[in-house]
């Protein structure tokens, strides 16, 4: 690992002064559960590490009916999973946070870091492989080992987005506040993640001198229910092979509104308007859930080793819809 300067500022203004105009100049450290792996494995070698943990007012959960839910970027996943209002009113988010990694990791990992974590693709994570994301010529997964790669939205790089919390937050119409030396901006989380066809070097709209300070989630309307369902290879702890966040508003059993966002299948959390359209305005039955699940994967384009993800996604979407309305 290359030597680096280490700083621990105490305010957001100081943090953004420490960041540079390139990713090589400085990287933000939150819980470190992703960043330290990248440093140790030689994937990144920044000149400076800027530790956010010295900033006192970035770890909080606030809720009011009028303003909804606000999560400071340093709030841990364990805090989110345990918070009573989140468990009751934003169930899919609590379930998603609870499904991440192990209790030890959830006690340290922050929501800001969970949204900004880098892909788990084994070619990207291999120090000696210069894949497209690291400025190389090709995506090695395309003709290589692609069991866990994208079936939707892939190309020219086929990573899948790793966060479980992001799909749940997008299903709840969350936004993020971003601060930089140029000021503050708020971006709907649905527009925060970018496909590799739009940006190759990183997965979000963030520039090197920007930080996420807060996540805002509107108050769910009455009769809203939600769930996050995840299939993983190891139940003790693992990333999603496939997951689905479903947020639905019902009136007399009829679906007034619904948002379905998938994980593990695309380079970004993948919203499925096709599946949503099948459910809207109708009474949700097992056969309608099946139709919606089929619609969710209708446009999938599996690679040589991941066609199994198509029926798996279909099954998870169907189960998640039925669990939400049960
Ligand atoms: C064994 C293991 C299993 C895991 N399983 C899962 C899983 O099942 N599901 C899942 O979702 N995740 C999983 N993860 C990933 C884990 O959730 C993330 O590593 C964690 O959420 C990152 O948070 P952190 O605070 O540790 O971030 P860090 O490691 O400190 O940072 C991660 C990245 O985000 C950037 N960053 C951090 N905070 C900010 C901010 N506020 N603004 C801008 N950039 C920022 C950093 O520069 C870095 O690039 C797993 C990780 C491990 C090690």
What is the distance in A from the centroid of ligand 1 to the CA of 74? 11
Does residue 168's CB lie within 6 angstroms of at least one atom of ligand 1?
no
248, β-bridge pairs: 225, 258
What is the distance in A from the centroid of ligand 1 to the CA of 22? 20
Placement of tokens 């309305």 in the chain: 325
3-class state of residue 78 by DSSP: helix
What is the distance in A from the centroid of ligand 1 to the CA of 249? 31
What is the distance in A from the centroid of ligand 1 to the CA of 258? 28
Biggest CA pair distance of the chain: 62
What is the distance in A from the centroid of ligand 1 to the CA of 30? 8
| Whole-number average pLDDT of the chain | 97
pLDDT band at 193 (very low <50, low <70, confident <90, very high): very high
Q: Write the pLDDT tens digit of every residue in 209-225.
A: 999 999 999 999 999 99
**By CB neighbour count within 10 A (0-12 exposed, 13-18 middle, 19+ buried), where does 48 fall?**
middle
**CB 106, CB 76: distance < 8 Å:** yes
Taking residues 171-198, report their average pLDDT. 98
Alpha-carbon distance of 108 to 234, in angstroms, equals 21
Give the strand pairing for 48-51 and 5-7. parallel
For residue 114, the ligand 1 atom closest to its alpha carbon is 21
What phi, psi does 217 have (nearest 5°)?
-130, 120
261, β-bridge pairs: 245, 271
Which domains does the chain carry? 58-116+160-217 (3.30.465.10), 224-325 (3.30.390.50)
**Quick one: pLDDT at residue 253?**
86
70, β-bridge pairs: 62, 216
Rounded percentage of the chain residues whose pLDDT exceeds 90: 98
Token pair recorded at residue 239: 């990333």
Closest by CA position to 83, among listed 71, 99, 73: 71
**Quick one: pLDDT at residue 103?**
97
Does residue 28's CB lie within 6 angstroms of at least one atom of ligand 1?
yes
**Quick one: pLDDT at residue 298?**
98
Give the strand order in the sheet containing 61-64.
Answer: 61-64, 68-72, 211-217, 175-180, 183-188
Does residue 265's CB lie within 6 angstroms of at least one atom of ligand 1?
no
**Quick one: pLDDT at residue 41?**
93
**Quick one: pLDDT at residue 173?**
98
**Quick one: pLDDT at residue 24?**
95
**Quick one: pLDDT at residue 326?**
92
For residue 77, the ligand 1 atom closest to its alpha carbon is 21
In this structure, the residue with its CA closest to atom 27 of ligand 1 is 113
Does residue 114's CB lie within 6 angstroms of at least one atom of ligand 1?
yes
Answer whether residue 237 shows pLDDT above 80. yes
Alpha-carbon distance of 90 to 219, in angstroms, equals 9
Closest by CA position to 79, among listed 49, 58, 64, 54: 58
Answer whether residue 1 shows pLDDT above 80. no
Give the strand order in the sheet containing 254-263.
Answer: 224-231, 242-251, 254-263, 270-271
With the most atoms of ligand 1 within 8 angstroms of its CB, the residue from 27, 81, 116, 163 to mutate is 116
Answer whether residue 134 shows pLDDT above 90. yes
Answer whether residue 290 shows pLDDT above 90. yes
**CB 258, CB 246: distance < 8 Å:** yes
Alpha-carbon distance of 246 to 129, in angstroms, equals 37
**Quick one: pLDDT at residue 195?**
98
What is the distance in A from the centroid of ligand 1 to the CA of 230? 18
Does residue 263's CB lie within 6 angstroms of at least one atom of ligand 1?
no
Return all residues near 78 (Cβ < 8 A) that are at least 6 apart. Answer: 97, 103, 106, 107
DSSP codes joined into one string, 14-72: HHHHH--SSTTTEEEESS-TTHHHHHHTTS---SEEEEGGG-GGG--EEEETTTEEEEE
Answer whether residue 141 shows pLDDT above 90. yes
Taking residues 281-301, report their average pLDDT. 98
Rounded percentage of the chain residues whose pLDDT exceeds 70: 100
Long-range contacts of the stretch 308-313 (C-beta < 8 A, 24+): 309/151, 309/241, 309/242, 309/264, 309/265, 310/151, 312/231, 312/241, 312/242, 313/151, 313/242, 313/244, 313/262, 313/265
Q: Write the pLDDT tens digit of every residue in 310-320.
A: 999 999 999 99
pLDDT band at 235 (very low <50, low <70, confident <90, very high): confident
With the most atoms of ligand 1 within 8 angstroms of its CB, the residue from 6, 9, 19, 34 to mutate is 34
Q: Write the pLDDT tens digit of every residue in 14-46.
A: 999 999 999 999 999 999 999 999 999 999 999
């Amino acid at each position: 690992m290359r030597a680096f300067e280490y700083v621990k500022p105490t305010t957001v203004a100081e943090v953004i002064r420490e960041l540079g105009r390139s990713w090589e100049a400085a990287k933000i450290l939150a819980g470190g559960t992703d960043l330290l792996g990248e440093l140790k494995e030689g994937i990144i070698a920044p000149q400076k590490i800027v530790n956010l943990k010295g900033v006192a007012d970035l770890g909080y959960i606030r809720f009011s009916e009028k303003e909804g839910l606000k999560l400071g970027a340093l709030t841990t996943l364990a805090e989110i999973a345990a918070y009573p209002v989140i468990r009751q009113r934003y169930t899919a988010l609590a379930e998603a946070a609870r499904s991440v990694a192990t209790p030890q990791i959830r006690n340290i990992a922050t929501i800001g870091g969970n949204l900004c974590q880098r892909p788990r693709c084994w070619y990207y994570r291999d120090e000696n492989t210069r894949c497209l994301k690291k400025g190389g010529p090709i995506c090695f997964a395309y003709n290589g080992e692609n069991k866990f790669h994208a079936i939707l939205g892939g190309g020219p790089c086929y990573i899948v987005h790793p966060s479980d919390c992001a799909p749940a937050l997008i299903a709840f119409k969350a936004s993020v506040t971003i601060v930089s030396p140029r000021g503050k901006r708020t971006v709907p989380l649905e527009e925060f993640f970018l496909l590799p066809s739009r940006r190759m070097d990183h997965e979000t709209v963030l520039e090197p001198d920007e930080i996420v300070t807060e996540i805002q989630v509107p108050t769910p309307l009455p009769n809203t229910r939600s769930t996050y369902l995840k299939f993983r290879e190891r139940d003790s702890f693992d990333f999603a092979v496939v997951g689905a966040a479903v947020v639905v508003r019902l009136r007399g059993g009829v679906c007034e509104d619904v948002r379905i966002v998938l994980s593990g299948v695309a380079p970004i959390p993948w919203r499925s308007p096709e599946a949503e359209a099948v459910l809207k305005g109708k009474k949700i039955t097992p056969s309608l859930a099946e139709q919606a699940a089929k619609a969710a994967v209708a446009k999938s384009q599996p690679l040589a080793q991941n066609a199994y993800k198509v029926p798996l996604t279909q099954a998870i979407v169907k189960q998640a819809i039925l669990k939400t309305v049960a």
